[in-house]
Amino acid sequence: MSINVLVWGENVHERENEIVREIYPEGMHTAIARQIAADGDLKVSTAVLQEPEHGLSEERLAGTDVLVWWGHKAHRQVDDAIVERVAKRVWEGMGLIVLHSGHFSKIFKRLMGTPCALKWREAGERERLWVVNPGHPIARGLPAFFELEYEEMYGEPFSVPEPMETVFISWFQGGEVFRSGLTYRRGAGNIFYFRPGHETYPTYHDATIGQVLRNAVRWAHNPAPAYMAVHEAPNVPVEKAPEKIVERGPKLHAPGEQGYR
């Protein structure tokens, strides 16, 4: 069974900054998509901020199993209604992989419910990613640690909720550490935050990063049918209770009345 992957890119830095354009002449989203598509059963397409509805129509999202998100400068340009639409699909079971500066994207903050803030430094430091959960599907085929020669530093504390699992911890040349691979579940949706990917370095051309992205897509994919009932809050009348009961005590709602939400 193939997995439908949609790589979403903000597509701003690569058009405005010459350094980024040189590294990613076809856009960062294209490089990320190519890495994922190296496994033939992963059906990958791309969407960018500048498209109508940011390329994230109801129909497009309904056909997406895993959405990959790279954004930075234009987080605030993402329409709130579309953020809500993406969150809804995650709760129904769509996987979401949030990359690098996506920690401050509206969608990640919406799903985490915390500031998602961190320390940072742009000094071309070596990043060493330690695989701290070697049995995890996202770590499949990886060595005990791997390095990126040039990366931006992200340092703790990272103000996210305690994750379901920690897959990677990064160490940077300047001495800071960071939880760089974190899993979450929201509703029926699996979420993976993966730290590397600063736009002025060739991170998304790195073979090991490609392996992590493909592993993450497979992990995030929920093969179950979309869990549409996740949005419902039905009233169960007394006569429909699994065990026979007699109604008693005062009540707020009239029979058959809609609940507040």
Q: Is 151 in the site for Zn ion (CB under 5 A)?
A: no
Residue pair 187/92 in contact (Cβ under 8 Å)? The answer is yes
* Residue from 11, 101, 105, 180 in contact with Zn ion (CB under 5 A): 101
- Binding track over 44-83 against Zn ion, x by CB under 5 A: ----------------------------------------
**Residue 150, burial from CB neighbour count under 10 angstroms (0-12, 13-18, 19+):** middle
CB of 101 to Zn ion, least distance (A): 5
- Dmax (CA) for the chain in angstroms is 73
> Which C-beta is closer to Zn ion: that of 50 or that of 200?
200
CB of 201 to Zn ion, least distance (A): 9
Segment lying near Zn ion (by CB under 5 A), choices 37-45, 49-57, 147-155, 230-238: 147-155
> Which C-beta is closer to Zn ion: that of 125 or that of 152?
152
Segment lying near Zn ion (by CB under 5 A), choices 44-52, 171-179, 184-192, 194-202: 194-202
Segment lying near Zn ion (by CB under 5 A), choices 30-38, 56-64, 190-198, 232-240: 190-198
Segment lying near Zn ion (by CB under 5 A), choices 24-32, 135-143, 152-160, 179-187: 152-160
Q: Is 180 in the site for Zn ion (CB under 5 A)?
A: no
CB of 105 to Zn ion, least distance (A): 13
* Residue from 152, 187, 204, 217 in contact with Zn ion (CB under 5 A): 152
Location of structure tokens 């390329």? 55
Q: Is 198 in the site for Zn ion (CB under 5 A)?
A: yes
CB of 47 to Zn ion, least distance (A): 21
Instruction: List residues near Zn ion by CB under 5 A.
Output: 101, 152, 198
